[in-house]
Copies of this chain bind each other. A is one copy, B any other.
Amino acid sequence: MDKNNKQTKGRQRIDTSKRRESEEDRLITFSKRRSGLYKKGSELCTLCGTQLAILIFSPSGKPFSFAHPNIEVIARRVLETNTRSDDQDYNGVMDACRRHSIGELNEQLTLISNEVEYEKERGTKLAQATKARQNRPLCEQKIDELSDYDAQKLKAWLLELQARINNRLDELNAAQATHPSAVGTIGGNASSSSYGYGGIHFKNFH
Contacts and interface: CB of A to CB of B under 8 A. Distances in A.
Contacts of A40: 33, 36-37, 40
B57 A54 contact: no
Given A98-B197, A164-B143, A185-B82, A203 B65 contact: yes
A37 B67 CA distance: 14
A105 B112 contact: yes
Contacts of A57: 50-52, 100-103, 106
A41 B202 CA distance: 11
A76 to B, nearest CB: 9
A139 B205 CA distance: 14
Copies in the complex: 2
B165 A143 contact: yes
Interface in A39-73: 39-71
Contacts of A16: 43, 46-47
A64 B34 CA distance: 20
A83 B30 CA distance: 39
Contacts of A148: 169, 172
Contacts of A139: 103-105, 164
Contact of A33 (B44, B49, B121): B44
Contacts of A46: 16-19, 198-200
Nearest to A154: B165
Given A18-B46, A189-B87, A71 B200 contact: yes
Given A17-B46, A33-B48, A99-B202, 4 more contacts: A45-B200, A64-B203, A96-B201, A120-B205
13 contacts: A14-B47, A16-B46, A29-B48, A30-B47, A42-B200, A43-B198, A79-B186, A82-B184, A95-B193, A96-B203, A103-B139, A143-B165, A155-B169
